[in-house]
Amino acid sequence: MLVVAEVAWLATDARVVGVGRWVVLAAVVVGHLALVRAERRDPSLSWSAVLLAVIAVVIGAVAVGPVGSRDLYQYAMYGRIVTFHHANPYVVAPAHFTGDPFLQQLSSGWRGARSVYGPAFTALSAVLARAFGRSPLLARLCFQGLAGASLVAAVVHLRRRAVPPWLGLFVGVSPVMVAAVNGGHNDVLVGALVLFGVDLARRSRPARAALVLALGCCVKLLALPVVAALAVAGWRSGDRRGALRLGAGTLALIAAGYAVAGGRAALEPLGSWGHNPSRASLWSVVAVHGGSSATIGHTGIAVARGALLVTVLAAGVAWLRWSGGRPDAVSLAVVLGTVALAFGDYILPWYAAIYLPLAALGGSRRARAGLGAASVVLLVAYARHPGGGAPPLPGSPTVARLAGLALVGIGAWSAWGAGEPRSGVGAELDEVGVGVTDVEPAALAAGTEQVGGAAGDVEAS
């Protein structure tokens, strides 16, 4: 029933106007939360049923045209710039290629924007460009299909790690994840890579973990908080050599990727993020009440530095609050991801897809709850989608400002409680230790059953 409701939500979005958007969105969000809560308390669905539901909702999300965001056409254009125009998308903007058939598919505010995506994703986009050629439909299906396959792969991996089925529902049919697949957002791919990389690190395979995590960061640098969390947790647990290998190895691979893509030129477009805080960002609220958007634009670097400072401070609080014993890398990674969403200067709903699969792997309940709450708040803030063609939604600016303030509270709450004792599947995995794969999945599953019973018109990317 929820799968049908979510697909209908996407398919009818263009025909729903006014406060009806919030009503429909609220129904989908509440339905998802109710299902997850019911399955957690009284499990009735098997993993097979969960996988079928995830595959069904992915097929539905791919069948529907992208709702609200046209980012996938931006991906396609950057790939075409490399493959067909033999230029560097970090140096030359799409607007330069006036004869390209994809230019008209881009949001007007982003036609002059150089790529802010990592070199690995740019390379992948260039390869896919040969497949979709001049067809916007094939391009849409390529990127939506990539996001859908990434979500299914993440859920299958969670099943292999013997987490309870309700956590598969928490990720696989989450409205945020479904919306991200529909938009073909590369955040879903990053989320799957982060999940695989962290799991490799937990099983004492730092070299492979560094490679997979670097690949994720070379799709989108928003995965960096996960690398920081693993390095800090490893250092505090006493495995300083492993922490250094993982952290330094990942950073070296990222640096190599960007060097191949053009070095400093490939990083320069990222500076544009600080000049245009998104509508649900704390810094957008500051812009409204503390000065004009032009003022914020001229001080974009200061805003970005302020966001980074708050992130570091929140991470420090989480570290000091940690209870005794070995630090939990998954909890810290999820908390840092939540803090990045809460205090970042440019945040969109699908960014949560980077951390949601990881939250199902383990970690504290508070960390998972904080991330889930942040993802819902962002989704509500974007009930009126980015883009000049979106119909007006009464009260949307006020809701966005309230969302920004709510995110700050969620981020602080999540960080402050990050050190509380863990329970459930995450605690069991920590007791097993890095050799978790040596334990029979059936035994882990049995254990979990016992325990668990503006910004506005130009926002994109």
Read off the pLDDT of residues 280-294 as tens digits, 9 standing for 90 and up: 777 776 665 544 444
pLDDT at 447 over 50: no
* Structural domain total, the chain: 1
- Please determine, for residue 442, whether its predicted confidence score (pLDDT) is greater than 50: no
Radius of gyration of the chain (CA): 21
Q: What's residue 450's pLDDT?
A: 34
Instruction: Find out whether 219 and 310 touch, Cβ atoms under 8 Å.
Output: no
DSSP secondary structure code for residue 173 in this structure: T
CA distances from 296 to 208, 289, 341, 417 (A): 41, 11, 19, 32
Model pLDDT, residue 294: 44
For residues 218-229, average pLDDT: 92
Q: How far apart are CA 186 and CA 191, in angstroms?
A: 9
What does DSSP assign to residue 384?
S
The stretch 113-126 carries a mean pLDDT of: 95
- Is residue 273 scored above 90 in pLDDT? no
What is the per-residue pLDDT across 15-33, written as a single tens digit (0 to 9) for each? 776 677 778 888 999 999 9
Average pLDDT over residues 182-207: 93
Is residue 461 situated within a structural domain? no
Helix (H, G, I), strand (E, B), or coil: what is residue 121? helix
Residue 8 lies in a domain: yes
The pLDDT of residue 406 is above 70: yes
Does residue 161 lie within any of the structural domains?
A: yes
> CA 365 to CA 10: how far, in whole Å?
30
pLDDT of 446 strictly over 60: no
Helix, strand and coil content of the chain, in percent to the nearest 5, comes to: 75, 0, 25
363 assigned to some structural domain: yes
pLDDT tier for residue 34 given thresholds of 50, 70 and 90: very high
**Cβ-based neighbour number of residue 265 at 10 Å:** 13
* pLDDT category of residue 431 using cuts at 50, 70 and 90: very low
- Token pair 């949601």: residue: 356
pLDDT band at residue 149 using 50, 70 and 90 as cut-offs: very high
Q: How wide is the angle at C-alpha 407 spanned by C-alphas 402 and 409, nearest 5°? A: 100
CA dihedral 154, 159, 164, 167 (to 10 degrees): 10
The Cα 384–Cα 13 span in angstroms is 10
In a domain, residue 302? The reply is yes
The answer to whether position 393 is within a domain reads yes
Q: What is the mean pLDDT of residues 223-234?
A: 88
**pLDDT for the residue numbered 362:** 83
Specify the pLDDT at position 14: 65
pLDDT tens-digit readout, 348-372? 999 999 999 999 998 788 889 999 9
Site of tokens 């999940």: 195
| Tokens 């979106």 found at | 390
| Helix residue spans in 163-223 (DSSP H) | 165-172, 175-182, 187-202, 206-217
Cα gap 300→306, rounded to integer Å? 10
Q: Check residue 298 and give its pLDDT.
A: 42
In a domain, 457, yes or no: no
In order of 190, 332, 363, 422, the CA distances from 366 in angstroms are 23, 11, 8, 9
In the chain, % of residues over pLDDT 90: 48
Please name which of 400, 124, 460 lies closest in space to residue 272, comparing C-alpha atoms: 460
* pLDDT value at 313 more than 70: no
pTM for the model: 0.85
pLDDT average, residue stretch 68-85: 93
Q: Is the pLDDT of residue 323 over 70?
A: no
Q: What confidence tens digit (pLDDT) does each residue in 373-395 have?
A: 999 999 988 876 544 455 556 66
Contact between 122 and 78 under an 8 Å Cβ cutoff? The reply is yes
Domain range spanning residue 301? 2-452
**Averaged confidence pLDDT in the chain:** 81
Has residue 294 been placed in a domain? yes
- Residue 377 in tokens: 């708040």
Lowest mean pLDDT among 62-71, 252-261, 297-306, 367-376: 297-306
